[in-house]
């Protein structure tokens, strides 16, 4: 693998467009221009590594890819900071409406779900209109049943529908099990109308029986909704086979463009290297990786001599519990006060439209001036309550100043955590706007 990745990178990063005529989506979007560095990075990671589930050999391949790429790009210090997680993998997933001609449902196990028995679980469906309705149900309301939760996520530029909709994914198994359910299935947390189910992490509670948890696609959820409305009781057969992996290796890749005046002060640009296993993780989060790498280089300038250190951290194991974010905060506990900024790119490929922050009152004028410098790119000033993002949340909690750059997420949840998250979904022009925004922010803080 080693030789291949090195050779491939040379081609992908240095050789321009590797796609043939009529090839990638990129060709369609900007056929006259050669692909940018950010686009080539996105293409390289999604094509040469592909899916890279946390704790698997493919995530390790992504770390190898990152180390070689960042060295090729002349980052001054490049290191893997390993840690270990409880891994998980899917092996089989299927579901059928056995009461209605054995219609197959497009279904996927939620991340962390246990298996069903080998023959599956066959039981009546308890159709629950929403997660809030589930919470209102009394104990044993769903004894012996498979609970189906039908919440529908709303698309929004700021992704605000996610927080509401994701509750059923995170806690549906717990709340359904409390009420006697044998398993839980949810309408996918996603805004598309396709038959791609959306996976994503789910949780168990040590005090509550663990039950299998799956997501069905929006189109299949519509089908269940219509059949339910007809009043004929439904029975579902759900088969999940998953596997827990003890002590699975993961790690963060940390790469510095070392500052020439204040090398110990750090401007941190964050994205995550792992992806879910179903797709190639293009908008989640290869584009984030590409944005922060390209922005760091752009901010450092051709001589690569920023005043302060510009650090790119490509986190591992974000999807399965933000383990990389925690590991970084722990490993770098001694230098957290040296971080003059942390910002993250993990919301796909839409244009940045808002600059929010979490800064000390005294520092707000400087943050405001940086935000003002983004107006020509269509970026408005947001509030000073930004959490920054999952991977830098641990730093934010410890007081590291944060810039939260909101990308347009209107279509992000059409692809998020699905098999359909592939390179062709990347908007190459918007990607460049992102690089420019992140670069200006990084430059402003590095050279302040």
Taking CB under 8 A as the rule, does residue 58 contact a second copy? Answer: yes
- Between 20 and 34, name the residue whose CB sits nearer to a second copy: 20
* DSSP helix/strand/coil, 93: strand
Footprint of a second copy on residues 126-185 (CB under 8 A)?
129, 152
The DSSP 8-state label assigned to residue 410 in this structure reads: T
Give the one residue of 158, 225, 326, 368 binding a second copy; rule: CB under 8 A: 225
Supply the minimum distance, in Å, between the C-beta of residue 368 and a second copy.
41
Q: How far apart are CA 230 and CA 233, in angstroms?
A: 9
Check binding of 34 to a second copy (CB under 8 A).
no
Return the structure tokens found at 281.
């993780």
Taking contact as CB under 8 A, which single stretch among the options 188-196, 234-242, 260-268, 320-328 is the one that binds a second copy? 188-196
CB 78 within 8 A of CB 67: yes
Give yes or no for residue 117 binding a second copy (CB under 8 A).
no
Residue 104 CA to residue 72 CA, distance in Å, equals: 48
Nearer to a second copy, 189 or 341 (CB): 189
Separation of alpha carbons 79 and 63, rounded Å: 10
What span, in angstroms and rounded, lies between the C-alpha atoms of 219 and 293?
Answer: 37
- Residue among 92 and 330 whose Cβ is closer to a second copy: 92
Nearer to a second copy, 227 or 299 (CB): 227
Number of residues that bind a second copy (CB under 8 A): 53
Give every CB contact of residue 125 below 8 A, 6+ residues apart in sequence: 145, 146, 147, 148, 224, 228, 233, 234, 235, 236
Tell me if 423 contacts a second copy by CB under 8 A. Answer: yes
- In the list 33, 79, 104, 364, the residue contacting a second copy (rule: CB under 8 A) is 104
7 binds a second copy (CB under 8 A): yes
CB of 312 to a second copy, least distance (A): 23
Measured from the CB atom, the residue of 131 and 196 that comes closer to a second copy is 196
Nearest in space to 216 (alpha carbons), one of 258, 185, 242: 185
One residue of 33, 77, 160, 193 binding a second copy per CB under 8 A: 193
Does residue number 47 form part of the binding site for a second copy (CB under 8 A)?
A: yes
Q: Is 16 in the site for a second copy (CB under 8 A)?
A: no
Among 139, 202, 267, residue whose Cα is nearest residue 417: 202
22: left (phi over 0), alpha (psi -120 to 50) or beta: left
Our finding on whether 419 is near a second copy (CB under 8 A) is: yes
257-290: buried (b, 16+ CB within 10 Å) or exposed (e) per residue?
A: bbbeeeeebbbbbbbbbbbbbbbbbbbbbbbbbb
275 contributes a contact to a second copy by CB under 8 A: no
Query: Judged by CB under 8 A, does residue 222 bind a second copy?
Result: yes
Which tokens go with 238? 């759900």
As given in the structure block, the two tokens for residue 18 are 């590797």
Which residues, including other chains, have CB under 8 Å from residue 172's CB and lie 6 or more apart?
A: 131, 134, 147, 149, 184, 186, 202, 213
Question: What distance lies between CA 49 and its chain's CA centroid?
Answer: 16
Binding flag, residue 230, a second copy (CB under 8 A):
yes
Is 54 in contact with 316 (CB distance < 8 Å)?
yes
Region binding a second copy by CB under 8 A among candidate stretches 4-12, 309-317, 348-356, 366-374: 4-12
For a second copy, the closer of residues 160 and 193 by Cβ is 193
- Cβ atoms of residues 184 and 95 within 8 Å: no
357 binds a second copy per the rule CB under 8 A: no
Q: How many degrees, rounded to 5, is the angle at CA 254 between CA 398 and CA 424?
A: 105
By beta-carbon proximity to a second copy, the closer residue of 196 and 353 is: 196
Q: Does 11 bind a second copy (CB under 8 A)?
A: yes
CB closer to a second copy, 90 vs 179: 90
Please report, as ranges, the residues that interact with a second copy according to CB under 8 A.
Answer: 1, 4, 7-8, 11-12, 18-20, 22-25, 43, 47-51, 57-58, 61, 100-101, 103-104, 106, 129, 152, 193-196, 218-219, 222-223, 225-232, 279-280, 419-420, 422-425
């Amino acid at each position: 693998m080693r030789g291949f990745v090195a050779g491939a990178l040379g081609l992908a990063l240095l050789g321009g467009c590797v796609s043939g005529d009529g090839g990638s989506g990129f060709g369609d979007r900007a056929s006259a221009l050669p692909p940018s560095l950010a686009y080539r990075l996105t293409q390289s990671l999604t094509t040469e590594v592909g899916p890279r589930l946390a704790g698997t050999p493919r995530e390790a391949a992504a770390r190898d890819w990152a180390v070689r790429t960042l060295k090729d790009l002349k980052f001054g210090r490049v290191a893997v900071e390993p840690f270990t997680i409880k891994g998980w993998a899917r092996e089989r997933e299927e579901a059928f409406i056995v009461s209605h001609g054995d219609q197959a449902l497009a279904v996927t196990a939620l991340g962390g779900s246990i298996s069903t028995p080998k023959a599956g679980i066959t039981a009546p469906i308890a159709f629950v209109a929403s997660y809030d309705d589930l919470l209102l149900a009394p104990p044993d309301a769903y004894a012996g049943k498979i609970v189906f939760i039908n919440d529908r996520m709303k698309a929004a530029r700021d992704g605000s529908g996610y927080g509401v909709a994701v509750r059923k994914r995170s806690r549906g198994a717990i709340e359904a099990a409390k009420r006697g359910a044998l398993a839980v299935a949810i309408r996918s947390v996603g805004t598309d109308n396709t038959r791609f189910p959306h996976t994503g992490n789910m949780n168990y509670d040590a005090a509550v029986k663990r039950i299998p948890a799956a997501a069905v696609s929006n189109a299949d959820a519509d089908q269940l909704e219509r059949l339910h409305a007809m009043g004929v009781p439904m029975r579902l057969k759900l088969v999940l086979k998953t596997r827990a992996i003890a002590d699975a290796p993961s790690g963060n890749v940390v790469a510095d463009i070392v500052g020439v005046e204040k090398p110990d002060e750090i401007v941190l640009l964050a994205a995550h290297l792992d992806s879910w296993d179903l797709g190639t993780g293009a908008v989640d989060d290869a584009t984030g990786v590409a944005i922060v790498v390209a922005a760091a280089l752009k901010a450092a300038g051709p001589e690569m001599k920023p005043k302060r250190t510009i650090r790119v951290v490509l986190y591992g194991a974000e999807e399965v519990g933000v383990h990389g974010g925690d590991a970084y905060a722990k490993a770098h506990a001694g230098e957290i006060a040296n971080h003059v900024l942390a910002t993250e790119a993990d919301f796909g490929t839409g244009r940045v439209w808002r600059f929010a922050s979490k800064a000390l009152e005294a520092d707000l004028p400087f943050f405001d001036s940086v935000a003002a410098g983004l107006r020509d790119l269509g970026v408005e000033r947001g509030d000073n309550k930004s959490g920054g993002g999952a991977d830098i949340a641990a730093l934010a909690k410890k007081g590291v100043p944060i810039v939260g750059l909101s990308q347009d997420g209107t279509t992000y949840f059409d692809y998020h955590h699905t098999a359909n998250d592939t390179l062709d979904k990347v908007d190459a022009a918007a990607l460049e706007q992102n690089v420019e925004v992140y670069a200006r922010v990084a430059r402003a803080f590095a050279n302040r």
